[in-house]
Amino acid sequence: MRRHPTRDFLRQVLTGELGDDELVEVQEHFEEGCVTCLLTARELLARSEPDLLDNLGRFTDSGLPEHERDEGYERAVRQTAGRAIVLEAERRLGTTLLAELDRRPPALRREGIRRTPRYQLLGLAELLAEESRRAGFHDVARAVELGELGVEVADALDPSFYFPSIVCDRQALNRAFLGNARRVAFDLFGAERAFQDALCHLERGTGDELVRGDVLSLLGSLRIDQTRYAEARRVLQEALGSFRRTGQQHDEAKALLKIAHTYADAGEPERAVEILEKAAPVVDADGDERLGLLVRHSTSFWLVDAGDALEALVRFEKARSLYDRFRDDPWFQLRRTWQEARIHAALGDPDRAEPLFEEARQAATERELPYELAMIDLELAALHLDRGDTARVRQLAEQMVSVFRSGALHAHALAAVFLFQHAARTETATAGLAREVLVYLRRAQNNPYLPFR
């Protein structure tokens, strides 16, 4: 359909008055990217009577005459399909609309969303949330901006078209993704505000288990960074229940991994390992090899912390084939080398551990990862202090200058590293101090307000 359909034609198609051929014509026209007709269709659907759409079941009532039952049911099916076509067209337009927003000056993007109906689409709100999540791994400022735009779109959605409870679900989800972006950006107070708003909208939503699980799972990550571990476990257990009830094995496994983190960060690595033992079969059933490797790597990592380096080595060796499948992933390869070094250090084999730590240190330096570099330096320092090699520890202390210059460590983390550096220079550092600072850095990586005690 190259010509724009008339308003009356669109109305008849979307209310099910015309047949399947006309429905396909409209679908093809939307697929060509016509925003004008899409907005007209949304307006017509918002004004249409929902009785056919909401009461499909009544047309199968045996009390109705056969011809009335068949005709009414088929019309209701076409009306349902018309609404689905409109929603799918919105999702396809998301990328185009986001590109349009990006071409606007940053200061005018939110105003554009408020004033322009073409941006007030559920599909765009969904896309902005997902893009915010992705950006959080490499560009936190962009993640926050996309999260804020997503909230703006969600708040502009028309409840007469999408239904009020569905709009509340979307508002809750987009606020949760904004909160997650702020968390990654170290704005824990801003993240808290976003999540409190998300929970308010969630209570007015549809009650969808998956929506609730997603919001609570993201909130659990914030509670971990806030070192509120008991609260984190409570909300993550609620999320876990939602994912199990909806059969979301991937999300279930991620929730279990987060729960394990709450125990490990609270100084209970044995409990963390127990949780991950429950997660492994779920991950295997889900088939996500990346998540599977993360669970196995974390199990080996926390076994070292729990004092069972031999079992950590067994688990590490079993995961070698999985590590090999991610040879092009620098994140996993750095941690593979680092973990192997930790295992040999814990097994009392410093001659094998040291070159592996040095290799991990070089990789962190090349990738400009100062936080990871600081932690590896502390691992190496503890290794040398166990052997009484204070000269090498002093040398490591001098190399820590690059960590201070990077600007990547927040004030409390810098203070902890500086304390160790001073102790190393004055030859008063101990392996215990190195490990104490290391544990602190792990817990404080995403929490600039957590002091070193």
Split at pLDDT 50, 70, 90, the class of 422 is very high
Q: How many domains does the chain have?
A: 1
**Amino acid (one-letter) located at 4:** H
The rounded distance, in Å, linking the Cα atoms of 282 and 257 is: 11
The rounded distance, in Å, linking the Cα atoms of 336 and 296 is: 11
Cα angle 146, 152, 154; round to 5: 100
Mean pLDDT (whole number) for 416-433? 93
pLDDT value at 46 more than 50: yes
pLDDT value at 56 more than 50: no
Model confidence pLDDT, tens digit, residues 147-198? 999 999 999 998 888 889 999 999 999 999 999 999 999 999 999 999 999 9
Q: Is residue 55 part of a domain?
A: yes
Residue entry with tokens 């409109």 = 86
Mean pLDDT (whole number) for 291-313? 96
Q: Does 194 or 87 have the greater pLDDT score?
A: 194
Exposed e or buried b per residue across 326-349, where buried means at least 16 C-beta atoms within 10 angstroms of its C-beta: eeeeeebebbbbbbbbbbbbbeee
The rounded distance, in Å, linking the Cα atoms of 242 and 232 is: 15
Split at pLDDT 50, 70, 90, the class of 52 is very low
State how far the alpha carbon of 265 is from the alpha carbons of 154, 271, 305, 444, in Å: 35, 11, 11, 10
Full-model pTM: 0.86
The rounded distance, in Å, linking the Cα atoms of 178 and 183 is: 9
Q: Is residue 85 part of a domain?
A: yes
Nearest to 312 by CA among 353, 351, 371, 282: 353
Model confidence pLDDT, tens digit, residues 377-393? 999 999 999 999 999 99
Alpha helices of 48-163 — where are they, by DSSP H?
51-54, 66-103, 106-115, 122-135, 140-156, 159-162
**Amino acid (one-letter) located at 61:** D
Q: To 10 degrees, what angle do helices 20-31 and 7-14 make?
A: 120
Nearest to 46 by CA among 161, 156, 158, 157: 161
From 55-59, 340-344, 393-397, the region with the lowest mean pLDDT? 55-59
Q: Is residue 28 part of a domain?
A: yes
State how far the alpha carbon of 319 is from the alpha carbons of 300, 315, 323, 340, in Å: 9, 6, 6, 12
**Amino acid (one-letter) located at 312:** A
Q: What is the mean pLDDT of the chain?
A: 89
State how far the alpha carbon of 184 is from the alpha carbons of 178, 187, 229, 253, 286, in Å: 10, 7, 18, 21, 27
**The pLDDT value given to residue 68:** 52
Exposed e or buried b per residue across 193-225, where buried means at least 16 C-beta atoms within 10 angstroms of its C-beta: ebbebbbebbeebeebbbbbbbbbbbbbbbbbb
Query: Please, are residues 174 and 128 in contact by the beta-carbon 8 Å criterion?
Result: yes
Write out the DSSP string of 346-404. HTT-HHHHHHHHHHHHHHHHHTT-HHHHHHHHHHHHHHHHHHT-HHHHHHHHHHTHHHH
Model confidence pLDDT, tens digit, residues 22-33? 888 888 888 877
pLDDT value at 66 more than 80: no
Nearest to 167 by CA among 132, 121, 210: 121
Q: Is residue 19 part of a domain?
A: yes
pLDDT value at 65 more than 60: no
Q: Is residue 23 part of a domain?
A: yes
The rounded distance, in Å, linking the Cα atoms of 291 and 285 is: 11
Model confidence pLDDT, tens digit, residues 271-283? 999 999 988 888 8
Q: Does 300 or 408 have the greater pLDDT score?
A: 300
Q: Is residue 421 part of a domain?
A: no
**The pLDDT value given to residue 37:** 83
Query: Please, are residues 269 and 305 in contact by the beta-carbon 8 Å criterion?
Result: yes
Model confidence pLDDT, tens digit, residues 96-123? 889 999 999 998 999 999 998 889 999 9
Nearest to 113 by CA among 143, 86, 149: 149
**The pLDDT value given to residue 49:** 52
Write out the DSSP string of 217-273. HHHHHHHHHTT-HHHHHHHHHHHHHHHHHHT-HHHHHHHHHHHHHHHHHTT-HHHHH
Domain span at residue 47 reads 7-92
Q: Is residue 240 part of a domain?
A: no
Split at pLDDT 50, 70, 90, the class of 55 is very low
Q: What's the distance, CA 184 to chain centroid? A: 10
Give the three-class secondary structure for 6: coil
Alpha helices of 266-328 — where are they, by DSSP H?
269-286, 289-305, 309-318, 320-325
State how far the alpha carbon of 432 is from the alpha carbons of 146, 384, 414, in Å: 43, 12, 18
Q: Which residues contact 166 (CB under 8 A, 6 or more apart)?
A: 122, 205, 206
Supply the Cα-derived Rg of the chain in whole angstroms. Answer: 27
Mean pLDDT (whole number) for 290-294? 94
Nearest to 199 by CA among 181, 184, 182, 220: 220
**Around 388, how many Cα atoms within 13 Å sit in the side-chain half-sphere?**
0
Q: Is residue 50 part of a domain?
A: yes
Residue entry with tokens 């040999």 = 344
The rounded distance, in Å, linking the Cα atoms of 417 and 376 is: 12
